[in-house]
Structure 1
Amino acid sequence: MSLKILLTMVLAALGLSLAAPAGAAPVTVTNATQFKDTSGTVVHAHGGGMLKVGGYYYWFGENRNPDNTFRAVSVYRSTDLRTWEFRNNVLTQASNPELNLANIERPKVVYNSSTRQFVMWMHKENGKDYSQARAAVATSATVDGNYTWRGSFRPLGNMSRDITLFRDDDGTGYMVSAARNNADLNVYRLTADYLGVASLVRTLWPGSSREAPALFKRGGKYFLLTSGATNWQPNQQKYATASSIAGSWTSLSNVGNSTAYGSQTAFVVAVQGTQATSYLYLGDRWAGAWNRPVNESQYVWLPLAFPTATTMTMSWFPRVSIDTATGVVAGMP
């Protein structure tokens, strides 16, 4: 008898199963609200990103103290993108002395299949001002386990603020961050283990003052969505495309309205199902815009539309229908 069959029999006797989570039913997400987890507690995943592992979407993000300093990077999981189960504070002030007083922003996680490690990159400051402008790295053997702090640094000596991660189809890792006091966006190729920077690939649109980058790939084309730099106030989001990350990028084009419907880019998640692959904009409506703590911020999630292979639009909807089984995401009036 195989080990798997034996284990299945034991689990069946206990009323458990080896099966993946059941397929999710269609759900509706209401925009410009604070989401709550399955225990009724407000979800704190601000400036965050998502990673799908098995049948679950894992949502990492900022969880801050009332004075906006770092409390934790929290992670939640869901099969349907609405029903969020709190899993862990994967990085906390107790994780390393460097985090006792800090700002940790825009945590993003990717999986390195060679090292079998989940690797988190983030923007790190000293908790008092924005003079450090450092990138930081942490790792874990499990997606929602405690992450080990690997340190912070300026990539190749460059300032590094708002940040995103991207793992290409061939396994190459990239990090994009705002540099030179947010004047530039630098695209870096990561080392094979994703723990460091191997090279500076490009500096995009020097002097254009872009931040909040979100990089994704659709139909062989790379899309980079960013915001302007206006502190907590929302502004015009812009995007560009390329056939190669290291190649030429188009000029920036507007998407959405002049304030991104009162939000700022955090991430773009691909929702792949049996009928379609949809792309969902995840945005933050920052409470700092009305002089309140970050943990009072709200979420704005909107479907992205693609009139052509290299153009993108985003319209406002008060609610969004999400079917993770079919991959169909649609705005609702």
Structure 2
Amino acid sequence: MHHSTRSRDRRSRTVRTAAALLASTLAALGVVAVAEPARAVPVTITNGTQFTATNGSIVHAHGGGVLKDGNFYYWFGENRTADNRFLAVSVYRSTDLKNWEFRNNVLTQSSAAELASANIERPKVMFNASTGKYVMWMHKENGTNYSEARAAVAVSSTIDGTYTYQGSFRPQGSFMSRDITIYNDNGTGYMISAADENFDLMIYRLTPDFLGIAAVVGNFWNDAHREAPALFKRGSTYFMLTSAATGWNPNQAQYATSTSISGPWSGWTNVGNSTTYSSQPTFVLPITGTSGTSYLYLGDRWAGAWGGPVNDSQYVWLPITFPSNTSMSLNWSPQITIDVAAGTITGLSPTYYRVTNRNSGRVMDVVSNSTANNAEVKQYAWNGGGNQRWEFQDAGGGYLRIVNQNSGKCLDVTSGSTANGANIIQYTCGSGQNQQWQWVAIGSYFQLRARHSGKCLDVVNSGTGDGADIQQFTCGSGNNQQWSRTAV
């Protein structure tokens, strides 16, 4: 045993010495070994947040798409100025879909004269195996209004290098083209875009080099008023995922299916909740690993819904499940775990709480089960309804967003007021500090302190009855400002 161990040690030293000699010889010849990226481990992503790149900056890849190339996933998307005009198409890369390295602004205002004062939306990139080129399609407007409704194309010989702008046009010379996506179907390229003031959804087959449109495949949903298309294939079924056209405000996602891109296509079926968890589809990413292929919904939670600029928008990524070969399901998870090596996505179920006032024994309630913005939050006796159940989401910095189960909207101090007596409502979740709260222990109870004002959630006049209003007020020692939470 001892002899064989010494023999192994000698062999190991010999191998290490040979490897060292080889490395020094290659270095002397100017040959540099490139290390493979580390094998990705499972990662957890928090939804309804902005993502941070590895350099500490915010990831601006809004309306974007992801392309797997080698060991990396490349994420292209919109990066805008503070006044919502086009700044760049930015690209990031990752091996695990959480740790994103900023690579380049591959298309900028200076890439072409017509981009100097433009809007560029929903950029998507495909690789053309026959030409060896990476081709980007996008929606182009003039930066002032949405009258152009044009498609635009850019091309590059490297995935994250500079893209050469090829110009913009209306498909077939006359079709409007707004929200856009592309799809590579075993070497045949397709472009899908909203047309006719977003009432129609057109499918086009691309030229073999992917740089132009060869033919109209069809308008299968005339006057359906759908936008934000995301096309993917699972097994022998194509899924076309879309949103309704309601501006920045989120709405009910719907999908259609077919066994061929050229149809016939089914009608529309709802998926997710009535606001698609306050998001809009942008892309569906297949993730293939040792356990098979999973499908990841990529959605934008647009800041325009709360009056903010596009670059304040957040991301919602959710696992898609398939009850049957021709149906899909999308359920909310505050966090998801992605294992790209295994090809698995796991949603973590949210925990909901009833939030009870110490003084009255009544709970925080959205009046009349409303799902509308500005709906009143008051206290009522516990009845178990979704309008009395709240999720505590991490908003960073020790603060929380408190989200109603029934509406998906956030506990909000109206208009960002810092005044005593400011009303408490529900509103579409955003990044405002008037929707961020500290859960501060006061003995065995807690105060909820608004980040923007430092004031406390307070039952008006220490009311004990149903319907007593809830406001913010300077923090004190009253039981009407003390709360408990119980998982339900």
The TM-score bracket by the shorter chain reads over 0.9
Tell me the CA shift for residue 62 of structure 1.
0.1
Alignment counterpart, residue 184 of structure 2, candidates 167, 170, 173: 167
CA distance in 2, matches of 1:7, 1:84: 30
- Is 1:267 aligned with 2:283? yes
Inter-CA distance 256–70: structure 2 relative to 1 (3 Å threshold): same
Checking the alignment, whether the CA contact within 8 Å between 1:27 and 1:80 is kept in structure 2 is yes
Tell me the CA shift for residue 217 of structure 1.
0.7
Tell me the CA shift for residue 18 of structure 1.
3.7
Per-residue CA distance 1:194-250 (angstroms, 9 max, x = gap): 000000001021101100000011102111000000000000000011000012001
| Counterpart code for 1:24 | A
In structure 2, the residue matched to 1:3 is: none
TM-score (norm. length: structure 1): 0.96
Per-residue CA distance 1:123-178 (angstroms, 9 max, x = gap): 00000000000000000000000000000000012000000000002x00000000
- Is 1:153 aligned with 2:169? yes
- Is 1:304 aligned with 2:305? no
Tell me the CA shift for residue 52 of structure 1.
0.3
Tell me the CA shift for residue 17 of structure 1.
3.1
- Is 1:122 aligned with 2:154? no
Inter-CA distance 100–320: structure 2 relative to 1 (3 Å threshold): same
CA distance in 1, matches of 2:24, 2:154: 35
| Counterpart code for 1:182 | N
| Counterpart code for 1:172 | T
Counterparts of 1:23-38 in structure 2, within 5 Å, are 23-38=39-54
| Counterpart code for 1:259 | T
| Counterpart code for 2:141 | E
Tell me the CA shift for residue 23 of structure 1.
1.3
Per-residue CA distance 1:262-283 (angstroms, 9 max, x = gap): 0000100011111121000000
Unaligned runs of 5+ in 1: 1-5
Alignment counterpart, residue 308 of structure 2, candidates 287, 292, 303: 292
Counterparts of 1:132-211 in structure 2, within 5 Å, are 132-156=148-172, 157-169=174-186, 171-211=187-227
CA distance in 2, matches of 1:7, 1:141: 31
Inter-CA distance 144–331: structure 2 relative to 1 (3 Å threshold): same
- Is 1:245 aligned with 2:261? yes
In structure 1, the residue matched to 2:299 is: 283
Inter-CA distance 199–148: structure 2 relative to 1 (3 Å threshold): same
Tell me the CA shift for residue 13 of structure 1.
9.2
Q: Identity rate of aligned residues, in percent?
A: 62
Aligned residues: 327
* Corresponding residue SS for 2:145: coil
Counterparts of 1:222-261 in structure 2, within 5 Å, are 222-261=238-277
| Counterpart code for 1:293 | P
| Counterpart code for 1:160 | S
Inter-CA distance 200–9: structure 2 relative to 1 (3 Å threshold): farther
Tell me the CA shift for residue 21 of structure 1.
1.7
| Counterpart code for 1:74 | S
* Corresponding residue SS for 2:324: coil
CA distance in 2, matches of 1:100, 1:148: 15
| Counterpart code for 2:268 | L
Per-residue CA distance 1:42-76 (angstroms, 9 max, x = gap): 00000000000000000000000011110000000
In structure 2, the residue matched to 1:41 is: 57
* Corresponding residue SS for 1:307: strand
| Counterpart code for 1:184 | D
Checking the alignment, whether the CA contact within 8 Å between 1:8 and 1:17 is kept in structure 2 is no
Checking the alignment, whether the CA contact within 8 Å between 1:8 and 1:18 is kept in structure 2 is no
Counterparts of 1:69-148 in structure 2, within 5 Å, are 69-148=85-164
In structure 1, the residue matched to 2:341 is: 325
Tell me the CA shift for residue 20 of structure 1.
3.2
In structure 1, the residue matched to 2:444 is: none
* Corresponding residue SS for 2:183: strand
Tell me the CA shift for residue 14 of structure 1.
8.4
Unaligned runs of 5+ in 2: 1-21, 350-488
| Counterpart code for 1:234 | P
Q: Which has the higher helix share?
A: 2
Q: Which structure ranks higher in relative contact order (CA pairs < 8 Å, sequence separation ≥ 6)?
A: 1
Checking the alignment, whether the CA contact within 8 Å between 1:20 and 1:54 is kept in structure 2 is no
CA distance in 1, matches of 2:103, 2:73: 12
Inter-CA distance 132–275: structure 2 relative to 1 (3 Å threshold): same
In structure 2, the residue matched to 1:218 is: 234
* Corresponding residue SS for 1:22: coil
CA distance in 2, matches of 1:109, 1:12: 39
- Is 1:64 aligned with 2:84? no
